[in-house]
Structure 1
Amino acid sequence: MRKGGYKLLLTTLLVVALRSISAQEFTYQIFTAAHGLPTSEIISVGKDSKGFLWVGTMLGVSRFDGYSFENFQYSSGNNFLGQVNCIEVDKQEKLWIGTNSGLYYFDESTFFKISADTKHYPQGVNDIVCDDKGGLWLATESGPAYIPAADLTSSNIIDLQKKILSQWAVITQRTGKDSKRAVTIRKAGDGSIFIANFNSIYRYYDDSLVCVYSNYDLKSNFQIQSIFPVSRDKIYFDEAKQQLHKIENGKLVKLNLATLYHPNLSGKGDAIIYLGTSGIASFYPESELINFRLNTFDIGVIWPSDVIYDSTGIYWLATHDGLYKIKQSVFTKHSIKTGNNRSECYSFLENSDGELLMGANRGKLFVKNENSFSAYLTKAPKIFPFAEIFGMYQDKREWIWFGSGYQGLAVYKDTEIKNFTEKDGIHDNSIRYFLETASKRLFAVGDMGLTEILINNNGVIRFNKFYIRKRISQYATFFSAIEGPDGKIWLGGEEGIFYLKGDSIFGHNLTNRDLYVYDIKKDRTGKIWVATSGEGILQCRFDNENQLTVEQKFTERNGLNTSVFMSLLSDEEGNLWAASPKGLSYIGIRGTYKGIVLNFDENDGFVKSGYINPVLYRDKKGTIWFGSSNGIVSFKPTDINVSAIKPPVHLMGLEIQGNRSSTGTFSNGHKDNLHADLLLPYYKNSVTISYTAIDFNNSDAIRYFYQLEGVDTGYLYARKLRSINYRNLKPGHYRFSVKAINDKFMWSEQPASFSFTIAPPFWKTWIFIIACILLGLLIIYRLYILLRQKYQTQKILNQFITALYGKNTPEEIFKSIAYNCINQLGFVDCVVYQLDDARRVMVQKAAAGPKNPDGNEIISPIEIAIGKGIVGTVAKTGKPEIVGNTARDSRYIVDDAKRASEIAVPIMVDGEVYGVIDSEHPKKNFYRKYHLHILKSIAQTCAIRISKYLGEEKLRSKIARDLHDDVGSTLSSINIISKIALQKNPEDAMVAEYLSKINENSGRMLESMSDIVWAINPANDTVEKVILRMKEFAAEILEPLNIQYTFIESGNFSTLQLNLSQRKDFYLIFKEAINNSAKYSACSKIEVELIHEGGSVHLSVKDNGKGFAEGKTRYGNGLRNMQDRALSMQATLQIETEEGKGVHVHLSIPLQGAAVT
């Protein structure tokens, strides 16, 4: 049984259709498996809220957008859909399908089964109706079922058997084995539900189920095909071969479709699209009137299964042979037998008798009769034996002029045909157009110019020719002409725009580029329209100088379906019609559709594209005729009614890096707005977005405009392209929008759009950048701190090193270290230990802080065995240690007081532990790596100084020993031998003198050598040893001479440090002063005073001898040597003397850089 799929026809919708005309034209298109359907056997058809067409087949369901079919054969749970019996959209815009395997709904891109699987009873759902509460009424194989809206959730699986009406089994018990099936279910306006199977119709109302009709007892073979309930008391239905029935208030009435059919009338109320035995009809129940019928037998459909009539004026007919698209057309096609199986026409003329003539190929001329066309001028010879009739014109004499493609000019007068060619004086044998001016001048326009036709009062014909030269074309053909306001003749053709002024033709640059002009027309308001090839349609006017200028340009961007137009026509309202190789276009200038651009092609019933030489003509009744090489149509502009349906546009899919993201649709305003705000990683920056707009009238004519905000500055024209690819997008936020316009100049109500964001790589994110900035600042700060610490460390080290200047012995170095650890590093305690290798103990050699408060001596010095305590451990391992909490370290040895933290750093000399710098602090964890770093640097510096000192000591000892053993012994031998030789009393006085000098010089050298050996010897490095030698020398020189002397010391010389050079020079100055006093002053007393005070050492040597007068005595080598040595020490030497008052030598040595206390 086929379901009678009725849908309400809303009479308020505007559709492209006929307005109450008797001769109805249709366009047909059939879709089968060859077009992408899984099978050609179609069971049901429906449309969803987004405008997609759904086609139920024997092998699943297909979605159609006007371009292609997307097939669905399995559900999300791999249930095979199979035969789809019905399609319904509920109040929530959810799509439901009933199949032989159960009930399914569609969500995004997948079907989900909501009915329970069972083997105990059939699962088939034959029909679905949605009630006002959102529930579903189902016609199932087991009977009618109702599912409340609350049960229709995605997580709920429904056992349909439990939803069957309880009264159904009782009321159908008597009717046979198949009578429990519910095949069709419908809802009346008052909410009553009608259920039908093959033989009976039932009504469910107020929880009561009753049978309102049954043919079971009549043993009828006529099955119920469809039902159309109006109210609980009134229902129409169709029975096979019995046409339409009505039951009203219990009374059955059979209706005759022929008597109901009134094509020129409109019924009251809403129409029902009635699919019955005789085909499709538009039925008005309130007035029982049918104003539209289509016998499906006429199009070869014997057994239709379902039909819907959509809002765009299309009937979708489901049949077992495919899906039919049926649409009424405003265009009437005409057929003319021209001998070549084509209805071709190249020119029209309505003559003074009201006859419509049509010029065809090979000079044939036809006239329109009431319902057909016949040959014209049959008694006259052919107008042109071979060429087309391209132009016709009837002049005031009622002569008819004909222009041919290549056989010249002809005129029909006085029942005769007379032909003219170039030989007869016309400018060319190709004539396309005739123009009569306001002054009654007649021109024939064609290739390479035009010809004026001159006729005198006697009817004699002659010609005046006007030529142009070919420039950019083969023939320089002119197709049309108009007269300007000043009488100039304006021509349009292959070479562009020209005008005839006087006897000359001039070119006119209309658009600053070469134009190919097919037609030029003037409308009733004086506007000039120019049809071009490639530049669209130009709306022009004549300016104040009567020159043609462009006012507006119409192209594809304005809604036209092409930019090539070949013929123009202004209708009675002044609206423009334009013929192109793709069809017919309309530009609304005034009236209802002012500002609207429409396009028509074969989908609207127009001539199929592929024709040449199209021409438009309007007869006196306002009918517009179109002729071409491939067909003829006519229509009335007033029958055109523009659809108010705007093509909805949807985003269909997204490919990311070539991988499809989804097959579902996602568009504004729908819950399945997939990827509403998609976040993509930076490496997935190439996207392909597919989209579609739905207009089943002419999908191929839809044009698209798109924009990707963030890339495109505005909407870009995509023509017919339905996918856009963007590659290598930069990180950022993007919003893609697409809108569409159909061939009726209807834009999408709103663009389809979605947003996505391409995340920057982590290293380009603000978090990372800020983190890097912060890290950079932290590094800079850290570097600053490190550099500052390094600077501070270097500064401290420099201070340490500066303090070590002049400190040569380990004791001096150790004292300096301990002192500066307190002063420079802020330690409260510092002790420096030295290794006593013989006893294997660490001995405290220097201290600062509590262990040596006055800077003199260490209080209660201790010794620590190697390996014991923290200091002993460091001495053993040679590795520094920081002990943050001495209470937790069993090695800690209490010295003068118990402290909380300790640091110990070894002093490594030549790879061996020489000493340990140790410090303790009362705070836990006081010492840091910073302190360790400084102490290690100090220890290293000390080690270098000590290593150098020990090396110098060894070298000095060796030199002193070598001088003493080698040079000293040799000089002693010379001295002794010379003395012995002198004691022998040599006879030769000169020899004696030489021996005396040898003895004297060797003695002096021996003494000097002794001084050098003493100075070099590191055992004499202390000032105390210098003082001792000074005393020994004074006694050795002065006592044999009975010279009294005193030696007074004032100050502490134990802390005084002088380097080797200072000690030597200091001693030799003293020695020279004693020698001078002893040898030359004749003194009896010498006073020596040595004072250490402040930052200086003062030496005073004063005798009571005879003295000498300064300036009178020349300084000898001794005094000069004293001055040089004082200068070397940066000391001050003063010698005070007067004759008779002795000599006073005073030496003042500053200790800066030489001594530190």
Structure 2
Amino acid sequence: MKLRYLAIFFLLLRWTDCLPQTSFRFRHVGVENGLSQGSTYHIIKDSRGYMWLGSQDGINRFDGKNIEVYLSGASGQSTNVQGIAEDTAGNLWVGSHKGLYQYIRKKNAFVKPALKNGPDNRSIHVFSNHKKSIFLLTEQGLSQIIGNEVKLLTRQITYNRSQINNFVKEAANGDFWFLDVKNGLSRYAFKTGKVSRYFSAGDGNVFGLPSTFNCISTDKTGNIWLGRGNELIRFNHQTLETENYTSCLELNKNTIFDIARDGDSNLWLATEGNGIVIFDPVKRKIVQHLKHEDDIPNSLRFNEVSTLFIDENNDVFANTDPQGLDIITAVPSAFKYYSFGKNKKFSLSGYSVRGIVEDKDSTIWIGTELAGLNRLNPQTGQIKQYSSNNGLPGSSIRYVYKDPLNRIWVSTESGIAFFSTAQDRLEKVPLPFNCEITNILYVENGVLLLSTDKGLILLNTENKKIISHSYRTLVGGYASFKDKTSGLIYVSNRYRGIQVFKLVNGELRIVKKLLPDFHVLHTYTDSKYMWAATDRGLVKWNIKNNKVEKTYGVSDGLHHEYIYSVLSDLNGNLWLSTNRGLSRFNPHSERFEFIKEISPREYNSRSSLVTRSGDLYFGSTTGLDRIQPKLLTLRTDHVGVQLTGIEYDHHQGVKDSAYVGELSQITLPFNSNTITIRYTATDYRGEGLNRYRYFLKGYDEDTIYSGTVDQVRYAQLPSGKYEFFLQASDLGGNWASPVKNLMIIVQPPFWQTWWFILMLCIFIVTLVTFSVSRYLDIRLNAQSLESNKKIALEKERSRIARDMNDSLGSELFGLKLLGQVALSQSSKEDANSYIQKIVDASKGISEKISEVIWVTDSDQDNAESLWNYIQKNAQIYLKPSGIIYRFDTLPSERLISISGERRHEILNFNRQLFLELTKACDFPQCKISFQIQESSLVIFLQNVDLSQMDKALNANLEKLQGKLNVNADHEVRIQIPLNN
């Protein structure tokens, strides 16, 4: 019995040693990711959440996704960093082989500081204490920066250039402890300024034999932890006691390079060639040994680890010299990971997993993409591999299935087989043609439905014969299930949704089609809904209403819309494997939570399982994840968010000497109001998959959820004040970061400024005043001119009327005399002749009276009135003489005003012309025509000899400012302006 227990003990011990190391997740960051150089010996996290990685070629600022490099050879400033520290203002101080540098955070730039008594440009090491005071260690001694001055503290402690890192630490009481390559251990008492030596060969050694140490660390109790070769030593300087833990470590000859303490008080020991040893000093045992494994991606990049840094999340940053940085994150015990490895008993036969199923014994069967079948015992972690030597028809697995009779069926690229328990091997079922079987479903009475790339096959599992081959144009997808209530069979059609069949007398009959616009990769059904994993998100199908109730995508919190499978845990949560990690979905709260504890890897279709005990398995392109939800406690991460840059479409007038990440307010000229704001999350677990939300108060109507996009562009912002709010989530979708805000002031254009508006108002008032005054002056002058004109016109009319009245008066007097003579005649005939003269004279007097009225009537001051009067006179003078005349149509659109005096003068000229024509014309050939052209009266005369024209007529034409022209055809043209 004792031997049996002893055998069990050793078996359990060996099983424990052989279990795969799954308690940590490794992320590698090297020069291929942007590091300036792989030997990052100095690591700190600043107050903004950035990691600063000092290398032998420059310093790197890392936010978890992006790396910005300073002082490197790429910019011609190659610098070997020898220490980094942050002061109380948030600025960084960097020691190097070129002297001291200071990072001015507001300018996002490194400068050479101007310090009083500052060190020269030789090798210098920089460090700080818990109060963020900056200390310098040079070959001349130990100094402190106070204000703008360097104060020497002691010359007894100097910098040895052969020391690279991990040789100075601050103790809990504020003292500094230094390693020296010659003098062992030195203590600088900060309060007294006293230097004490330990393990030194020099004078004044307080304790210990001379010794050389590789690294140093301190703890909260005041102990000093020292690495000496492969030895770990605890030194209590108060009691002058030491304790050696070397026998507990089994490091062989591997030197300890660094010592760091995590949140569980375990010591992390970085070694020269044996990876990292996690050591519990209380229990005096190794907790875990992390090393590089050639065939395991989730392991250290390299076994030589020079520097360790552990942050507030308990994440470990390790320099795997010279390969760069490894970020090591603890994974809860709820997660286990299986992948390909050298140890076949505990490793899969291949990386990519295609098909998972649980048999009646709770054994997990795992099909791989290219390396056959695996059988996992989840209790022991042991794996048995099956290949063609075990009857497997091909090594490329397509699907693994367990039927109600607990038989395991496996489809490969070469056919289908079932597992024979008795023979512990697989037996192939012959098919009449080659096809790819993508899914297997038990339908009834020992019949399997095989979804293939060449239609649907019904297979009798008893006689291994094909019952039917139908719907040959259907390309079988990756999902199928049978509804036990209705008996309907749901089969996915690749890229064509789901087709629903009913089995009638051994034949498949199509009933309906669902989700025709989706590529359905997997389904899960509850009492009311069918949940479909598709290439366009998670689809919620209402079975009763036969319609899509909702589709969940990135805008709803889903981190990736290409979903391979959907499983339900025992609490009713849905687990989704996607093209970039796992998410958990609560159907009641409709909240998605990214499973950040697992590295965001690419999962496979037809590769998921929920076991009877509630464990979840998901196959990926790199291995198999096992999740025990009942043990799961998702952690809260410390995530920050920072603004990293701002770009302008038009840069005129922008003062951008200050770094936007440190500004609380920016002011933009109006011509630079189109901007792009860039930002980042300081999260070293997220791998760039953090989500962002932002809101520009005064512009955006609501909060904008931008997913993983790390920039936003605002075009043509109107002038005014805005406030930009930004927040980042952790990988789980929790809005974990503090809110970052930035005030943005867009200056108005000059025409909207108060001084311009004031000047414009003054100008407008002045202009209106001047315009009104000018208008009134013009109006008054016009009225005065019009009044004067009317007065002058009335005077002229009066003169004309007076002259005509004088003429009429003489004619009336002559008419009176004619009447008297007629009355005195004795003969009737003589009296009648005088009476006729009286009639003729009366007619002339009547015409003159009419003309007086016409001249003095202001309503007749137009071209039409003059035109009509000239026509009337032409009838009187020209028509009786037989002269041919013609008047053109008067232009109706031209309203020409002509004064009474001008009308009278033009009319008199025409009468005089008519009288001359009656004397000078050869009547049958003489022609005359009248036109109005451009405010002028134009008279054309043909066959008229005006050489003997009356001199008075010429004088009147000149008085009217008229012109007379004769062309080569002897045609006479007279032009008289209608207005003088």
Q: TM-score, normalised by structure 1?
A: 0.56
Query: Which residue identity does 1:110 align to in structure 2?
Result: A
Question: Of the candidates 58, 62, 65, which is equivalent to residue 64 of structure 1?
Answer: 62
Distance in 1 (alpha carbons) for counterparts of 2:559 and 2:442: 33
Who is 1:1018 aligned against?
none
Who is 2:561 aligned against?
563
Who is 1:966 aligned against?
none
Point out where structure 2 has 5 or more consecutive residues left out of the alignment: 1-17, 203-207, 252-260, 294-298, 808-825, 831-980
Find the residue that maps to 1:111 and give its secondary structure. Answer: strand
Who is 2:479 aligned against?
479
Equivalences for residues 457-472 of structure 1 within 5 A: 467-468=470-471, 470=473
TM-aligned CA deviation for residue 740 of structure 1: 3.6
Residue by residue over 1:34-73, the C-alpha shift from the partner in whole angstroms, topping out at 9 and shown as x without a partner, is 5434444433111112221111123432212233322222
Change (3 A) 1:375 1:57: closer
Who is 1:488 aligned against?
488
Distance in 1 (alpha carbons) for counterparts of 2:143 and 2:91: 19
Residue by residue over 1:996-1055, the C-alpha shift from the partner in whole angstroms, topping out at 9 and shown as x without a partner, is xxxxxxxxxxxxxxxxxxxxxxxxxxxxxxxxxxxxxxxxxxxxxxxxxxxxxxxxxxxx
TM-aligned CA deviation for residue 645 of structure 1: 1.9
Change (3 A) 1:532 1:29: closer
Who is 1:95 aligned against?
92
TM-aligned CA deviation for residue 322 of structure 1: 4.5
TM-aligned CA deviation for residue 731 of structure 1: 4.3
TM-aligned CA deviation for residue 324 of structure 1: 1.2
Who is 1:598 aligned against?
594
Distance in 1 (alpha carbons) for counterparts of 2:167 and 2:249: 25
Equivalences for residues 266-415 of structure 1 within 5 A: 270=265, 275=270, 280=276, 291-294=287-290, 299=300, 304-318=305-319, 321-328=322-329, 330-335=335-340, 342-360=350-368, 364-368=372-376, 373-376=383-386, 382-385=391-394, 388-396=397-405, 398-404=406-412, 407=415, 410=418, 412=420, 415=423
Change (3 A) 1:476 1:577: same
Distance in 2 (alpha carbons) for counterparts of 1:615 and 1:32: 32
Aligned length: 770
Question: Of the candidates 516, 520, 541, which is equivalent to residue 517 of structure 1?
Answer: 520
Matched, 1:214 2:199: yes
Matched, 1:238 2:214: no
Query: Which residue identity does 1:190 align to in structure 2?
Result: N
Who is 2:855 aligned against?
none
Point out where structure 1 has 5 or more consecutive residues left out of the alignment: 1-19, 802-937, 961-989, 995-1157
Question: Of the candidates 607, 622, 631, which is equivalent to residue 615 of structure 1?
Answer: 607
Change (3 A) 1:743 1:405: farther
Change (3 A) 1:414 1:700: same
Question: Of the candidates 217, 234, 237, which is equivalent to residue 227 of structure 1?
Answer: 217
Who is 2:170 aligned against?
187
Query: Is the 1:534–1:564 contact (alpha carbons within 8 Å) kept by the matching residues of 2?
Result: yes
Distance in 2 (alpha carbons) for counterparts of 1:126 and 1:222: 20
Find the residue that maps to 1:577 and give its secondary structure. Answer: strand
Distance in 2 (alpha carbons) for counterparts of 1:515 and 1:179: 64
TM-aligned CA deviation for residue 557 of structure 1: 2.4
Distance in 1 (alpha carbons) for counterparts of 2:32 and 2:370: 41
Query: Is the 1:43–1:83 contact (alpha carbons within 8 Å) kept by the matching residues of 2?
Result: no
Change (3 A) 1:553 1:28: same
Query: Is the 1:492–1:520 contact (alpha carbons within 8 Å) kept by the matching residues of 2?
Result: no
Change (3 A) 1:634 1:258: farther
Change (3 A) 1:28 1:95: same
Question: Of the candidates 653, 676, 680, which is equivalent to residue 669 of structure 2?
Answer: 680
Equivalences for residues 534-549 of structure 1 within 5 A: 534-540=535-541, 542-543=543-544
TM-aligned CA deviation for residue 680 of structure 1: 1.7
Change (3 A) 1:326 1:628: closer
Distance in 2 (alpha carbons) for counterparts of 1:585 and 1:696: 19
Query: Is the 1:490–1:498 contact (alpha carbons within 8 Å) kept by the matching residues of 2?
Result: yes
Query: Is the 1:225–1:276 contact (alpha carbons within 8 Å) kept by the matching residues of 2?
Result: no
Query: Is the 2:558–2:592 contact (alpha carbons within 8 Å) kept by the matching residues of 1?
Result: no
Change (3 A) 1:567 1:435: same
Who is 1:251 aligned against?
240
Change (3 A) 1:205 1:736: closer
Who is 1:580 aligned against?
578
Query: Which residue identity does 1:650 align to in structure 2?
Result: Q
Residue by residue over 1:522-570, the C-alpha shift from the partner in whole angstroms, topping out at 9 and shown as x without a partner, is 46xx475534333212345544xxx555555432223333212222333
TM-aligned CA deviation for residue 465 of structure 1: 5.1
TM-aligned CA deviation for residue 429 of structure 1: 5.3
Equivalences for residues 169-208 of structure 1 within 5 A: 169=155, 184-198=167-181, 199=183, 200-204=185-189, 206-207=191-192
Find the residue that maps to 2:688 and give its secondary structure. Answer: helix
Find the residue that maps to 1:557 and give its secondary structure. Answer: helix
Who is 2:449 aligned against?
444
Query: Which residue identity does 1:685 align to in structure 2?
Result: N
Find the residue that maps to 1:561 and give its secondary structure. Answer: coil
Query: Is the 2:42–2:165 contact (alpha carbons within 8 Å) kept by the matching residues of 1?
Result: no
TM-aligned CA deviation for residue 720 of structure 1: 4.0
Change (3 A) 1:414 1:98: closer
Who is 2:13 aligned against?
none
Query: Is the 1:704–1:740 contact (alpha carbons within 8 Å) kept by the matching residues of 2?
Result: yes
Who is 1:532 aligned against?
533
Query: Is the 1:518–1:533 contact (alpha carbons within 8 Å) kept by the matching residues of 2?
Result: yes
TM-aligned CA deviation for residue 790 of structure 1: 5.2
- Among all aligned residue pairs of Structure 1 and Structure 2, give the percentage whose two residues are the same amino acid: 18
Distance in 1 (alpha carbons) for counterparts of 2:484 and 2:724: 50
Who is 1:692 aligned against?
680
Query: Is the 2:669–2:748 contact (alpha carbons within 8 Å) kept by the matching residues of 1?
Result: no
Find the residue that maps to 1:97 and give its secondary structure. Answer: strand
Distance in 2 (alpha carbons) for counterparts of 1:208 and 1:310: 31
Who is 2:127 aligned against?
128
Distance in 2 (alpha carbons) for counterparts of 1:89 and 1:177: 23
Distance in 2 (alpha carbons) for counterparts of 1:178 and 1:98: 12
Distance in 2 (alpha carbons) for counterparts of 1:333 and 1:122: 53
Larger Rg: 1
Query: Which residue identity does 1:251 align to in structure 2?
Result: L
Query: Which residue identity does 1:654 align to in structure 2?
Result: I
Distance in 2 (alpha carbons) for counterparts of 1:766 and 1:534: 57
Query: Is the 2:82–2:94 contact (alpha carbons within 8 Å) kept by the matching residues of 1?
Result: yes
Query: Which residue identity does 2:660 align to in structure 1?
Result: F
TM-aligned CA deviation for residue 202 of structure 1: 0.8
Query: Is the 2:392–2:417 contact (alpha carbons within 8 Å) kept by the matching residues of 1?
Result: no
Query: Is the 2:583–2:593 contact (alpha carbons within 8 Å) kept by the matching residues of 1?
Result: yes
Residue by residue over 1:413-462, the C-alpha shift from the partner in whole angstroms, topping out at 9 and shown as x without a partner, is 764866556659xxx9554444457x87754341477666667xxx5567
Find the residue that maps to 2:555 and give its secondary structure. Answer: helix
Query: Is the 1:653–1:664 contact (alpha carbons within 8 Å) kept by the matching residues of 2?
Result: no
Question: Of the candidates 47, 57, 77, which is equivalent to residue 49 of structure 1?
Answer: 47
TM-aligned CA deviation for residue 192 of structure 1: 3.7
Find the residue that maps to 2:102 and give its secondary structure. Answer: strand
Query: Superposition RMSD on alpha carbons, in Å?
Result: 5.7
Find the residue that maps to 2:518 and give its secondary structure. Answer: coil
TM-aligned CA deviation for residue 615 of structure 1: 0.4
Change (3 A) 1:771 1:331: farther
Change (3 A) 1:366 1:498: same
Distance in 2 (alpha carbons) for counterparts of 1:520 and 1:295: 40
TM-aligned CA deviation for residue 773 of structure 1: 6.2
Query: Which residue identity does 2:340 align to in structure 1?
Result: S
TM-aligned CA deviation for residue 327 of structure 1: 2.0
Residue by residue over 1:1058-1094, the C-alpha shift from the partner in whole angstroms, topping out at 9 and shown as x without a partner, is xxxxxxxxxxxxxxxxxxxxxxxxxxxxxxxxxxxxx
Matched, 1:701 2:675: no
Q: TM-score, normalised by structure 2?
A: 0.64
Query: Which residue identity does 1:214 align to in structure 2?
Result: F
Change (3 A) 1:418 1:206: closer
